[in-house]
Amino acid sequence: MQQSIMQNKAVIAVVDDDESLRTALEGLLRATGYLPRTYDGARVFLDSDGPTLADCLISDIQMPGMCGIEFYKELRARGVNTPVIFITAYPGERPRTTADMPGVIACLPKPFEAEQLLDCIESALRLSL
């Protein structure tokens, strides 16, 4: 399954205000066969073509301007049902974020293992196929 998803060149959007994390995830995603698109905030993503292009979305929870939870709600209000993987430096947020939020695949605490994130992406892409 992983091979066929990678051959489809899935677009993975990364929304995080931390430039070093965006750069690292972009490299990881590109190296594993995905097409990464990075955004430094939720509003930047929403104002771009990202919502129509992304097959999976990786979003930080704590961001200036619009937090990840508000971002998720705005996406759903616009009819965007892209699977979401939240990442957070605050592990205590996990139960609050994943309960009653369809399409949220996981909430990974930073730092996380690359393989763990890639497994979550594969799960997300299986849902969106």
Pull the structure tokens for residue 122.
């594969």
pTM: 0.90
Question: With contact defined as beta carbons under 8 Å apart, do 120 and 99 qualify?
Answer: no
Tell me the per-residue pLDDT of 86-123, one tens digit each, with 9 for 90 and over: 999 886 665 455 667 899 999 999 899 999 999 999 99
Lowest mean pLDDT among 3-12, 33-42, 49-58, 101-110: 3-12
Copy the structure tokens of residue 35. 């097409």
**Residue 90: its pLDDT value, please?**
82
The two three-digit tokens of residue 11, written as one number: 């677009």
The CATH architecture that domain 2-128 belongs to is 3-Layer(aba) Sandwich (3.40)
More confident residue, 7 or 27: 27
pLDDT category at 127 given cuts 50, 70, 90 is: confident
pLDDT at 1 (0 to 100): 42
Q: Where are the domains of the chain?
A: 2-128
